Amino acid sequence: MTRQNVVVADTKSGINVAITMTVSNSSLFTKAVKKTRETQGGCINIPPKKVGGGARINAWVDSMRASSPTRVKSAASLSDQSSWMLRHPSALNMFEQIIEASKGKQIVMFLDYDGTLSPIVDDPDRAFMSDAMRTAVRELARYFPTAIVSGRCRDKVYNFVRLAELYYAGSHGMDIKGPAKGSKYKKETKAVLFQPASEFLPMIDEVYKALLEKTKSIPGASVEHNKFCLSVHYRCVDEKKWSMLAQQVRSVLQQYPKLRLTQGRKVLEIRPTIKWDKGKALEFLLESLGFGNCTDVFPVYIGDDRTDEDAFKILRDRGQGFGILVSKIPKDTSASYSLQEPLEVMDFLKRLVEWKQLSMRQAIQGVKSRRN
């Protein structure tokens, strides 16, 4: 593992991507950040000014409505629910099978924050995790390498979680930092720091100010600055105003072709067009921990949002570990298992810790028996 200061230039776009990181010699990262204008699944394309916007705005609003959990729930029949649960069974019900699949391998935990460790709330600044959940995550990190992977600004999600022993990947994985004192799970003691979208910071600040101005007349709308990306929340906006909100967001973003728009749960996410997401963040963290090319690693990713699908797909492609979708309603997903809400997530984490503690006690007893 070596610490590198890298600037990767894309000759087509003229964008320089600055990176400061402690990594292995793998080429994963430079390959990923060189392609800065690739479209990814789930994106809403921002047309140039000359293209008529009426139809495009209607498409945006339709997409916003489709992502509304209440609408999806009303469309889901009991038979759909049962069929979906057969394909994505409860991780709690399948716990023994999951443990059996992980035997002899190092489990590495990746956790989304909003909707996974904390409930979804109207005010994103009040998405607090419970003390019981914090205790569960702290215990989890004692036995398994653990990372929080969130669309939130890394500093903001750290202030919610307040556990220094974890890895944090904020801004959808574009701002990654390891424990300040290093990790007992990796050989290198230097801190991990990776920020592949640093060149976009002035642009993100500029768009943030413009969006604040454009959306201030829409009751309930809020714009959250997540350092390397922006979130326009419309959970508290009257549905009749969604078209107006989409129009205002479009009027700003059509001036910035190097930014892309994706959707989450009643939130519009604005990000740089570099090919980096939560799936790439998962791969980077596995590499940083020394598990990049290992066959004896078992990553587990738990998340509730569209943006977590990038990580679920990576795990499927790797054929290692599995994804768990947190949802009470059927959704298209690449996750293998499901949990219904943060309370079930906490139960699953506790069961993992209890299993690990029991297996360690049994191992110690086995050593003592052999000595006698």
pLDDT at 5: 34
Rounded alpha-carbon distances, angstroms, from residue 338 to 104, 113, 331: 24, 16, 10
| Type of residue at 141 | A
Give the catalytic positions in this structure. Answer: 112
pLDDT at 27: 42
What the block records as the tokens of 353 is 């810790």
Going through 226-309 in order, the beta strands assigned E by DSSP cover: 230-233, 259-264, 267-272, 297-303
pLDDT at 263: 85
Read off the DSSP letter of residue 11: T
Q: What is the distance between the alpha carbons of residues 234 and 294, in angstroms, rounded to a whole number?
A: 42
pLDDT at 148: 98
Q: What is the distance between the alpha carbons of residues 72 and 327, in angstroms, rounded to a whole number?
A: 11
Residue ranges of the chain with per-residue pLDDT less than 70: 1-56, 66-78, 181-191, 372
pTM of the full predicted structure? 0.80
Q: What is the distance between the alpha carbons of residues 58 and 80, in angstroms, rounded to a whole number?
A: 28
